[in-house]
Structure 1
Amino acid sequence: MIPINKFRYQEVILLGLGRSGLPALHSLLCGKTKVIAIDDNLQNVNIGGLAGMLHQQAISERNLIVNPSIDQINFKNISAVIASPGIPLTYPKPHPIIEKAKQLNIPITSDIELLYETCTKSKYIAITGTNGKSTTTVLIGHILKYAKQVVQVGGNIGVGALQLEPLDSNGIYVLETSSFQLALLNKVKFDIAVFLNLTPDHLDRHRDFDSYKAAKLKIFENQKSDDYAIVSIDTLEMQKIFDYLAKYGKQKIIPLSIQKITENGVSIIDGVIYDNITPNVQKEFEIKELKRLPGEHNAQNIAAAYAAAKINGVKEEIIVEAIKSFKGLEHRIELVLEKGELKFINDSKGTNTDATQNALKAFNNIYWIAGGISKDQGIECLSHLFDRLKHVYLIGAAAPKFAEVFKKYNIPYTCAGTLKKSLELIKESNINSGVVLLSPACASLDQWKDYEQRGNSFKEIVKEMWND
């Protein structure tokens, strides 16, 4: 935990008490800040342990006020508003506190900004992209730790920035950054900024694709000539971003590709890393048959992690050793169980069709469990991969809509309704080869608290049914 002393004996508003908000509250109170904490879903907030004791003490000493009405707040006394990533800044409409702060020119900041202002001597590596950023973030952290560097990993991955340990000039923060987090940044400068890919997402919170893209591009803001941008160039949209940075940016740029060998960049083709970061010197390393990092999308993640680690001074051979020792990331094409020739894969983090497409590309003979709350254009955009399917088990709110698509393409399907029922049907069918894949292409909130609970339930049921 990182105490925040910037607002010592001053008063701030903290918006949101989730995974980033609660650690921020703890950090502010430890720094003797008076906090007005506001959360529109206070009944879901879990305050426990030592942090809970601290908060109760702060309430009794009137250093913490929870959920007052906006009329009860004296904004003249407010030094800053610290907003969690889930708080709307502009669209579909700003949170009333944000709107009031803008009217009165009260600074709006975030936990990542406060971390950056507090641990000023540390190095910062940030990762963004529509998909793959969690795996890449953890993989970079794994490689750097394997190389005996001092590392803390957090951000959007589930560990709040202020929940991390304080680091000095020898330390490196590796942060997964969402569009919501990037939109909140002002002065943060990342030493290494990684941008993996970009497709439409979260358009319920961004006015349109251009607004979503603009938020993502803030990862490169404030970078200087000794900083690095690592950018995939395998789509037209990402090539445009690379070209823009090459023309207008001050930072050094490292291109990534899984389609071609790039000049001055890193490529992965057919299980071989091609390192051309040093001009006119190509190094090659074989990384075939990585069970924990299957698929083309993971090749992109590996290329990005390789580039970030090399820039950070890790020897190439050590990077490759670390990649081969990586055990994968929970809920991201996670191998749960192998029962003879039957594999069970948990890809509960596949909450949109782009993410699920990566999972489908990685396997054949798939028994696919899909459904939930559909976030985008539906399932038909994946029809070019339907020949990989043996049967589809549909769950959640999107099941009727998805069923129409599979009926159209003559793909065998069952509207199972629930995850447990899907697995019961698979068990009853005596399937003994292929891949049972949970990759819903949907959000989880119709039946689960979040994708993690959904994925954990899948793993528990699979192990209960198949671990004889």
Structure 2
Amino acid sequence: MIKITALYTHVAVFGLGITGIEAVRALRAGGVKVTAWDDDEKKCKVAADLGAVIQELIPMPEGVEALVLSPGVPLTHPTPHKVVTVAEEASIPIIGDMELFQKARTTFPAPSQVIAITGTNGKSTTAALTAHLLTGSGFNVQLGGNIGQSVLALSPAEENTVYVLELSSYQIDLSPRFSPDIAVLLNLSPDHLDRHGSMKGYIQSKWQMFENLQPGSTAIIGVDGSDETALAESAETNDAIISVRISGQAEKTAKVFYQEGWLCDQEGPIVDLSSIATLQGAHNGQNAAAAYVAALSAGAAKDDIIRAFAGFQGLAHRMQPIGEISGEDGEVRFVNDSKATNAEASAHALATYDKIYWIAGGLPKEGGIDSLRPYFDRIACAYLIGASSEVFSLTLSDTPHVVSKTLDKAVPQAVTDALAAGGGVVLFSPACASFDQFENFEKRGAAFCELVNEQISRLGAVA
């Protein structure tokens, strides 16, 4: 655990989820007075047990020097939360856990490097892969942020430590001075626009930490879209930092890119990604390019990085291979992509496979699946679940599909059809949020895996 010492004497914490509780723990461990509040009495009890004073923060208690805000609390849009307004009126800085981490780094017993990874899609896979490559190269790696542990739950740096942090736009919003050593921007597509007000606001939230980069820092930017390319051009005007372009589409200006199953640089092929089950598809090619450059930038040896690639196990719910059923005329493969909560994420999976038995649906995002029309010819049949079923049915139109309504009906239907047709890929890539039928995407993915395992046990398989 990281202790926050000598930075503040009194801090308020609003929102006591994982981030808020770890902030309370870190501040109290450093001797800082904490006044905290959450509408959930059980969460307040946890904070109180850590030594926080439990008190509503409207009005703001006297002597508060900073407000640590939960990332999920509205900061600017659609309207600021009342506690934000109260803090601003009192000229109290509003920050998040990344800002506390930034300040705490100066107190660590050893120097460290920080790699911060953001973007709309691929952040978690890239962060996990970067951590894997660096661990395989002999570094002491701490992985956290929006993946795994809260950043303040990590350990203070020891010799050869690299922090690999996944950051959402919400977290960057609350980190006005956060400045990593290596910053990665993977891609941009419309997301969380209710939080940022517009696409312009969303892009600016991601770009903030790049504007904070210090001389000698590295900016790694995916250039597979016009917005991203414009940001790369902006970064390249700063001669004090190192700027590296990457691509999942063999974009000619990229230094490292994905092409026909290979990770390549301008000198030629580097790693055969087609042989790594957890890194299939062009989007994972971009993730691999980002992780490769990040590891190199942190000081890892090229040969060590290349050797480490093959052992990457991937992440649950992100194009996760589950197993296979062997039929008389072919094999049915199962892929759990429950983390695909929007159409852009599902596009990557649909682009990777052929003869797809696609299970999709849930709580739809704006635009639905209209943007996925270019991939409909890859779909042998779709099985629609959740609140989006009827509207997705209209979009699919003549593409073969069944309104299954629930996952427990969709899985056996897809298996039966795939086996009858001589095999294929049963792909669970919802393109929707989970909240209409499941608590989160993890539980949704776990339910899919359980249903698949039932089918494997019943029909026989290569697991």
Distance 1:69 1:107 in 2: 14
Distance 1:158 1:96 in 2: 30
Please give the secondary structure, in 2, of the residue aligned with 1:189: coil
- 1:339–1:44 CA distance, 2 compared to 1 (3 A): farther
Please give the secondary structure, in 2, of the residue aligned with 1:397: coil
Distance 2:418 2:124 in 1: 35
1:419-440: CA deviation from partner (whole Å, max 9, x where unpaired): 1121132345472611111111
Determine if contact 2:247/2:257 at 8 Å carries over to the other structure: yes
- Which residue identity does 1:174 align to in structure 2? V
For residue 291 of structure 1, what is the aligned residue in structure 2? 277
Please give the secondary structure, in 1, of the residue aligned with 2:184: strand
The 5 A counterparts of 1:35-434 are: 35-40=34-39, 42=40, 45=43, 52=46, 55-58=47-50, 63-66=51-54, 68=56, 70-71=58-59, 73-74=60-61, 76-120=62-106, 121-168=111-158, 170-248=160-238, 250-260=240-250, 262=252, 265-276=255-266, 282=267, 284-287=269-272, 288-340=274-326, 341-407=331-397, 410-429=398-417, 431=419, 433-434=423-424
Moved more, 388-397 or 217-226: 217-226
Determine if contact 1:274/1:283 at 8 Å carries over to the other structure: yes
Distance 1:315 1:23 in 2: 35
Distance 1:275 1:44 in 2: 52
Moved more, 206-215 or 391-400: 391-400
Unaligned runs of 5+ in 2: 459-463
Please give the secondary structure, in 1, of the residue aligned with 2:275: coil
Distance 1:385 1:97 in 2: 45
Runs of 4+ aligned structure 1 residues displaced above 4 Å come to: 43-47, 261-264, 427-430
Please give the secondary structure, in 2, of the residue aligned with 1:157: coil
* TM-score w.r.t. length of structure 2: 0.92
Please give the secondary structure, in 2, of the residue aligned with 1:77: coil
For residue 279 of structure 1, what is the aligned residue in structure 2? none
Determine if contact 1:7/1:31 at 8 Å carries over to the other structure: no
Cα shift at 1:447: 1.1
Cα shift at 1:365: 1.0
- 1:45–1:394 CA distance, 2 compared to 1 (3 A): farther
- Which residue identity does 1:387 align to in structure 2? D
Cα shift at 1:35: 2.2
- Which residue identity does 1:88 align to in structure 2? P
- Which residue identity does 1:31 align to in structure 2? G
Unaligned runs of 5+ in 1: 277-281
- 1:403–1:224 CA distance, 2 compared to 1 (3 A): same
Please give the secondary structure, in 1, of the residue aligned with 2:18: coil
- 1:264–1:335 CA distance, 2 compared to 1 (3 A): closer
Cα shift at 1:84: 1.9
Please give the secondary structure, in 2, of the residue aligned with 1:25: helix
1:171-212: CA deviation from partner (whole Å, max 9, x where unpaired): 111001111111111222111001111111111111000000
1:81-103: CA deviation from partner (whole Å, max 9, x where unpaired): 01121111100111111111111
For residue 34 of structure 1, what is the aligned residue in structure 2? 33
Distance 1:95 1:397 in 2: 29
Cα shift at 1:333: 0.4
- 1:170–1:318 CA distance, 2 compared to 1 (3 A): closer
Determine if contact 1:374/1:441 at 8 Å carries over to the other structure: yes
Distance 2:283 2:215 in 1: 29
Distance 2:44 2:150 in 1: 15
Distance 2:367 2:269 in 1: 40
- 1:264–1:358 CA distance, 2 compared to 1 (3 A): closer
Distance 2:181 2:30 in 1: 27
- Which residue identity does 1:247 align to in structure 2? T
Cα shift at 1:248: 4.3
Distance 1:132 1:383 in 2: 22
1:100-130: CA deviation from partner (whole Å, max 9, x where unpaired): 1111111111111111211233211001111
- Percent of aligned positions that are identical: 38
- 1:385–1:368 CA distance, 2 compared to 1 (3 A): same
- Which residue identity does 2:2 align to in structure 1? I
Please give the secondary structure, in 2, of the residue aligned with 1:387: helix
Please give the secondary structure, in 2, of the residue aligned with 1:14: strand
- 1:270–1:424 CA distance, 2 compared to 1 (3 A): closer
Determine if contact 1:37/1:66 at 8 Å carries over to the other structure: yes
Distance 2:426 2:30 in 1: 50
- Which residue identity does 1:298 align to in structure 2? N
- 1:362–1:253 CA distance, 2 compared to 1 (3 A): same
Q: Over the residues paired in the alignment, what is the CA RMSD in angstroms?
A: 2.0
1:392-451: CA deviation from partner (whole Å, max 9, x where unpaired): 1111111111111122xx112111111112113234547261111111101111111111
Determine if contact 1:223/1:250 at 8 Å carries over to the other structure: no
